[in-house]
Amino acid sequence: MAEMKDVFGQQPHPVEDDLYKEPMRKRRKSDRDQRFRAFPSVEQSALKEYEKLESRTRRVLSNTYQKLIQSVFLDDSIPNGVKYLINRLLVLIEKPTVDPIYIGLFGSTGAGKSSLINAIIQQAMFLPVSGESICTSCIVQVSSGCCAQYEAKIHLLSDQEWREELKNLTKLLHRTEELGREEADAWNRDEAVEEATWKLQMIYGNGAESKNYEELLRAKPKRKIPTSRVITLKAEEAEELSIKLDPYIRTQRRDWDGEATEMHIWPLIKHVEVTLPKSDLIPEGVVLVDIPGTGDFNSKRDEMWKKTIDKCSVIWVISDIERVSGGRAHEDLLNESIKACQRGFCRDVALVVTKADKLHLPEYLRERKAGNQAIQSQREAVLERNEMIKLQRTRILKEKLKRKLPADFKVLEASDLVYTVSAQEYWQQALLTEEETEIPKLREYVRKRLLDKKRRTVTKYVTEAFGLLLLTDSFSSTQNLPNEHLHMSVLRRFAEEKVELLEKAIGHCFACMEQPLQEGVRTARTSYRCMLRACLVRSKGNQGFHQTLKAVCLKNGIYASRTLARIDLNEALTQPIYDQIDPVFGSIFRTGKPTGSALMPHIDAFKHSLQEKMTEIGIRSGWKYDSCKKNFLIQEISAILGGLEDHILRRKRRVYESLTASVQSDLKLCYEEAAQITGKKACERMKDAIRRGVDRQVAEGMFERAQERMQHQFQQLKTGIVEKVKGSITTMLTLASSQGDGLYKELADVGSEYKEMEKLHRSLREVAENARLRKGMQEFLLRASPSKAGPPGTSL
């Protein structure tokens, strides 16, 4: 069948290879119970019920699969409908329990990301920490699992990826002429030159910075690089793994003269995955991600930096209490996080203010407004100050989010947008109680997020499985009803009409982008010189900026390092357009009432109209005596359109980034020309080349082309949605029709599996009600329990 595609947007398993595949074995009960150790007893009970529902559903699906395989095992040809059914069963059986929840800790140097993760996982010095210097040199993912040991996997750049970076590093360090003393000093102070020199020396030793690309290709690294490009470390205890891991992920000082061979491969490390065994504090299915604040000079690492941000469903912007009130770095982090809500999977952004125990009491009392209640202790001052920061930063963050996101975006309704935490006090509790450090509050947030996702995932899984068993049972019991063919034709025509209406509705949604795009382009044309100047001007003039600017050009307008703010000329030039389109773009991909520019509510309305028509036709056609057919159609349309939402979310990143991608493409020759400039006053000449190139491209319609490319991406998305809906609906109706030529055959009796699946489907409501009752009881007991007092010895 041409339309024989999995309704979740995936190709079904090839029948020739996987039709007789053994489904994966279920998890042992003891292992399943261990997964819930991080939850209190009330939440454990709910999770166990959902886990039991899911496990029993998988067993029913597996039994059904085995019966079908046995019934067609000796057949020379298998009808397409049966192939579809077997493949769908296998996909459901092997579907992951819950996709991981990625929580990104996004912050700049010294903000305390690693210290916060250490406190959350209850391991004081697990990840490297240090006052103001950079400690974690790459993306580090921390999760828990059912492994018996602590384990870390260090993923390295491939040989090709390192060659690409090596070529750029040597270009950056290449000097074609002798420099005077002042120019040489400025060169050596250039941040990009220091970074490139450091990386080459780490891999190849002192003097590597003076060699060319070909010489370094022939040079032998100081340490042997594993061919697998993965280094695996294991340990029985957390401290043991921490000691092994530290040299790989800690950024050492540039004057460091130690001999740890692990440090020699630091520039090759792409990212690190750490797995804890059966954590009592972080549940399996949650991944805490330590994300550096600025990206990376290497293209692959920088792309991974963006993708990691985009796959996070939650982003915590980490800022220490002394830097939270301003600064470009803090604003850049917030802006990048909000963009993740637009282009990625992020649905929740919060500001986590670290080191919230730090306060100089005499200074605070002097600046505190008169008339307030008298402060009796350092602890009272800290708590009061923290509450003030929460109120102030919540208001500022909410206003910022409202400017960029639609008014009904869920994060705007969050009760907690700002947390004030202290990892140090969590361990010492000399000033604050454990609860007042708000580390337990963050853990509770993580647990609730996972519990909610588990509930939604299992509900969807059981419902989808029930629809599939309805179809399976109907394969064996299908009977020709009067006027069946006529009624199916009516339903097919109705579906075609509704698809046309859906196509128009999608076009209307996407057309809402036209006006803000036009306004953004007009603004960009008048303001681009100011935006460009802001990126190219430095407070110290060109001193120490020459090679950094060259690095920007070598990377097509983008430079990311671990110490400087990220430079992205393409993003800066298109920012006026994004300022105009962001609220509308967010509205298109939001969930809510089917009005205005929202896309998903129109798809939901399409689903409901089809389901209502199916019910109506089912009653008229006699399906009341064959409820399997009606129920199958209703359940299957939900599965089809549920998978469509995932497809849209994956594609929206490409749509959103099409503006900057277009500008970067148009300016590629300009960047290449500027990168070739050397000699005296090279920095100023490079700036002039960039300005001229941008002026020329703007005059030739650079921003208008960017607008056209984004509109083209929207058109492609619309076409893809309509084609997927048409194909899936056609397949569904063909399968449901008992008149299909050669579609059905006598199959094994799955009546008992259907009855068990029906019971499981009914159990969903009971499990949800039990969870609500337990939650209500827990909240009552918490309100009735006395609050904890502060730690002793906290008075003035």
**Locus of tokens 């003891």:** 30
* Spatial CB neighbours of 306, under 8 Å, sequence gap ≥ 6: 295
pLDDT of residue 681: 85
Q: Same domain for 587 and 623?
A: yes
Give the SS3 label for residue 238: helix
* Same structural domain, 199 and 149: no
Dist. CA 459–CA 761, nearest whole Å: 9
Residue among 324, 340, 339 at smallest CA distance from 419: 324
Residue 660 domain-assigned (yes or no): yes
Per-residue pLDDT, 17? 47
Nearest to 578, CA basis, from 665, 657, 508? 657
Length of the chain: 796
Q: Are residues 147 and 289 in the same domain?
A: yes
Specify whether 531 is located in the same domain as 606.
Answer: yes
Lookup result for tokens 């128009």: 504
Helix axes 702-736, 484-511, angle to 10 degrees: 170
Distance CA(456)–CA(592), nearest Å, equals 17
Look up residue 748 and give its two tokens: 């094994």
| CA–CA separation, 185 and 555 (whole Å) | 25
Q: How far is CA 392 from CA 332, 363, 388, 389, in A?
A: 19, 20, 6, 5
Helix axes of 668-675 and 682-699: crossing angle, nearest 10 degrees: 160
755 occurs within a structural domain: no
471, 539, 760 from 630: Cα distances, Å: 10, 70, 19
Token pair 């009130």: residue: 325
Q: Looking at this protein, which amino acid is placed at residue 111?
A: A
Q: Are residues 310 and 346 in the same domain?
A: yes
Q: Extract the tokens encoding 364.
A: 């605070």
Q: Give the per-residue pLDDT at 171.
A: 87
Residues 6+ apart with CB under 8 A from 506: 599, 602, 718, 721, 722
Q: Count, in order, helices (H) and strands (E) of the chain.
A: 27, 11
Q: Give yes or no: residues 411 and 525 share one domain.
A: no
Distant-in-sequence, close-in-space partners of 224: CB < 8 Å, separation ≥ 6: none
Integer angstrom CA distances of residue 611 from 495, 524, 620, 633: 10, 46, 14, 8
Q: Which amino acid is present at 349?
A: V
Long-range own/partner contacts, residues 425-428 (CB < 8 A, 24 or more apart): 425/356, 425/357, 426/119, 427/119, 427/124
pLDDT of residue 475: 65
Instruction: Indicate whether 278 and 425 sit together in one domain.
Output: yes
The per-residue pLDDT for 655 is: 95
Structure tokens at 533: 């100047």
3-class secondary-structure state, position 124:
coil
Residue 511 resides in a domain: yes
Q: Work out how many domains the chain is built from and give that number.
A: 3
CB atoms within 10 A of CB 91: 19
pLDDT of residue 674: 94
Q: Give the single-character DSSP code of 112.
A: -
Question: What does the pLDDT read at residue 3?
Answer: 38
| 167, 142: one domain | no
Domain-located, residue 791: no
User: What's the CA gap between 68 and 475, in Å, rounded?
Assistant: 11
Residues of the chain with pLDDT under 70: 1-35, 74, 80-81, 130-137, 175-189, 251-263, 326-327, 370-372, 408, 474-485, 487, 539-544, 562-563, 591-596, 618-632, 735-747, 774-796
Closest CA to 4 of 67, 94, 79: 79
* 368-405 burial code (b ≥16 CB/10 A, e <16): eeeeeeebeebbbbbbbbbeebbeebbebbeeebeebb
Report the half-sphere exposure of 482 (CA within 13 A, side-chain side). 6
Handedness of CA 654, 404, 348, 724 (dihedral sign): negative
Beta strands in 215-255 (DSSP E): 230-235
Tokens of 720: 């893809």
Does residue 524 lie in a domain region?
yes
**What are phi and psi for residue 288, nearest 5 degrees?**
-90, 125
**What is the pLDDT, as a whole number, of residue 91?**
87
- Ramachandran quadrant class, 286 (left: phi over 0; alpha: psi -120 to 50; beta: rest): beta
The reply to whether 651 and 712 lie within a common domain is: yes
pTM: 0.85
From the centroid of its chain, how far is CA 224?
34
Q: Residue 171 falls within a domain, yes or no?
A: yes
> And the tokens for 376?
């009796």
Distance CA 142, CA 146 (A): 14
Spatial contact of 123 and 238, defined as CB atoms under 8 Å apart: yes
Provide the residue type at 572 as one letter.
A
Rounded Cα–Cα distance for residues 390 and 568 (Å): 31
Strands 567-568 and 558-559: antiparallel
Looking at the structure, do residues 647 and 568 belong to the same domain, yes or no?
A: yes
pLDDT value at residue 16: 43
Angle at 233 between CA 232 and CA 236, to 5 degrees: 140
Please give the full DSSP string across 560-585, using - where no structure is assigned.
Answer: --SSSPPEEHHHHHHHHHHHHHHHHH
| 269-277 vs 139-145, strand pairing mode | parallel
Q: Which helix (H) or strand (E) holds 539?
A: none
Strand (E) positions, 256-372? Answer: 269-277, 286-292, 314-320, 348-354
* CA of residue 340 relative to chain centroid, distance: 8
Residue at 444: amino acid letter: E
Residues 143 and 203 occupy one common structural domain: no
Residue 619 covered by a domain: yes
Residue 614 β-bridge partners: none
- H/E/C letters for each residue in 404-458? HCCCCCHHHHCCCCEEECCHHHHHHCCCCCCHHHCHHHHHHHHHHHHHHHHHHHH
Q: Mention every residue, 6+ apart, whose C-beta is less than 8 A from residue 629.
A: 470, 474, 478, 618, 623, 736
Q: Which pLDDT tens digit goes with each residue over 450-468?
A: 888 888 899 989 988 888 8
pLDDT of residue 274: 94
Residues 632 and 687 in one domain: yes
Please say which residue of 720, 736, 752 terminates a domain: 736
The pLDDT value given to residue 544: 66
Phi, psi (5° rounding) for residue 490?
Answer: -60, -45
> Domain of 106: which CATH number?
3.40.50
In a domain, residue 466? The reply is no
- Over the range 268-302, which residues count as b (16 or more CB within 10 Å of their CB) and which as e? bbbbbbbbbeebebbbbbbbbbbbbbbbbbbebbb
Range of the domain at 423: 101-157+238-253+262-368+376-437
What secondary structure letter does DSSP report for 100?
Answer: -
